[in-house]
Homo-oligomer: A and B are copies of this chain.
Amino acid sequence: MRALAYFKKGDIHFTNDIPRPEIQTDDEVIIDVSWCGICGSDLHEYLDGPIFMPKDGECHKLSNAALPLAMGHEMSGIVSKVGPKVTKVKVGDHVVVDAASSCADLHCWPHSKFYNSKPCDACQRGSENLCTHAGFVGLGVISGGFAEQVVVSQHHIIPVPKEIPLDVAALVEPLSVTWHAVKISGFKKGSSALVLGAGPIGLCTILVLKGMGASKIVVSEIAERRIEMAKKLGVEVFNPSKHGHKSIEILRGLTKSHDGFDYSYDCSGIQVTFETSLKALTFKGTATNIAVWGPKPVPFQPMDVTLQEKVMTGSIGYVVEDFEEVVRAIHNGDIAMEDCKQLITGKQRIEDGWEKGFQELMDHKESNVKILLTPNNHGEMK
């Protein structure tokens, strides 16, 4: 079938030759893909990879899948076929996919050395995102959503009401990343929040915070295009490049108590955002890291947490409940459909996905949020 696939380090291109997925386990579902967004981690695989993908000439350590494999893990689509034990969805249903794989998927991969092994501690305790075997559909475990079809077990399938357009549904995955983060931060309705960075994850964090009833949201961002983007979502924007070392003090002063924010979310992952995420909090405030950091450490003073009993944590990935809750929040209007649409800055066919998707994002990072690709199964591109 047609797909935009990862062939080897530094080589991602369109192909007609990815094998069409088949149902091999009774609980699997085949989806005709509608839309699939390009994620920062897709670009990372190209620029700094392989990270999640198998090394050239190797198979995936978990599923034993071999390259080439279609990329793409932020997908929506329509169910095209279901295995005999599938109860969650039926053919024709609109769905999104929880792209994380975990112990719950080992039974699908008879060639895996972990086939049918006992679930790890994290999975046993319901933290599948922290699974020892964590991986992602479209990032090497199995072929992903920049393709005509995808096969996943029903455990990872979330039905989407037909009132939610399928392009908006493709945003459920990045929204689930930030929904998970805001949830594990312990966010309480009516609290204030500072978002550091207005890239795709920062903007998704804003949508979730609006959806969870934040009393005040300030986003700190220096890039003009992103500042505009954040303003369109109706939040207050602070540009630290205009205030230098006074930024933290000014940020704290923007809150009702003038003492800082209840919660902060680092969606940038650089030393200055790390420091701000802690110091712009009020006492007992919580700083949550959502950014992916490199190995270089940042200087940290334990008393910056201790003296005001602040809390620091970090969030990684999501669980299937996050998807269900995001779908519900979009459906009931807590997350505004119009806000979601603001995040879609481009739509392309998978045939053009490399040049007009990946390349465009690498060349014009700041003027884009989400570019969605489609195999055009249902005339998505008209």
A residues with CB within 8 A of B = 121-122, 127, 129-130, 184, 257, 259, 266, 269, 274, 282-284, 289, 291-293, 295, 297-303, 305-316
Contacts of A299 in B (CB 8 A): 297-300
Contact between chains at A302 and B306 (CB < 8 Å):
no
28 A-B residue pairs with Cβ-Cβ distance under 8 Å, sorted by A, are A121-B282, A122-B283, A127-B284, A127-B309, A130-B308, A269-B302, A289-B305, A289-B306, A293-B301, A293-B302, A295-B303, A298-B301, A298-B302, A299-B300, A305-B312, A305-B313, A306-B315, A306-B316, A307-B314, A307-B316, A308-B316, A309-B313, A309-B314, A310-B313, A310-B314, A311-B311, A311-B313, A312-B313
Question: Separation in Å of the A197 CB from the closest CB of chain B?
Answer: 14
Question: Separation in Å of the A261 CB from the closest CB of chain B?
Answer: 13
Question: Separation in Å of the A269 CB from the closest CB of chain B?
Answer: 7
Closest to A303 in B: B293
A312 to B127, CA, bound (A): 19
Question: Separation in Å of the A191 CB from the closest CB of chain B?
Answer: 13
Question: Separation in Å of the A305 CB from the closest CB of chain B?
Answer: 4
Contacts of A293 in B (CB 8 A): 301-303, 306
Contacts of A310 in B (CB 8 A): 313-314
A300 to B293, CA, bound (A): 11
Contact between chains at A300 and B297 (CB < 8 Å):
yes
Contact between chains at A302 and B295 (CB < 8 Å):
no
Contacts of A316 in B (CB 8 A): 306-309
Closest to A131 in B: B283
A308 to B131, CA, bound (A): 9
Contact between chains at B300 and A306 (CB < 8 Å):
no
Contacts of A130 in B (CB 8 A): 283-284, 308-309
A312 to B307, CA, bound (A): 13
A282 to B291, CA, bound (A): 21
Closest to A298 in B: B300
Which residue in B184, B302, B309 is a CB contact (below 8 Å) of A274?
Answer: B302
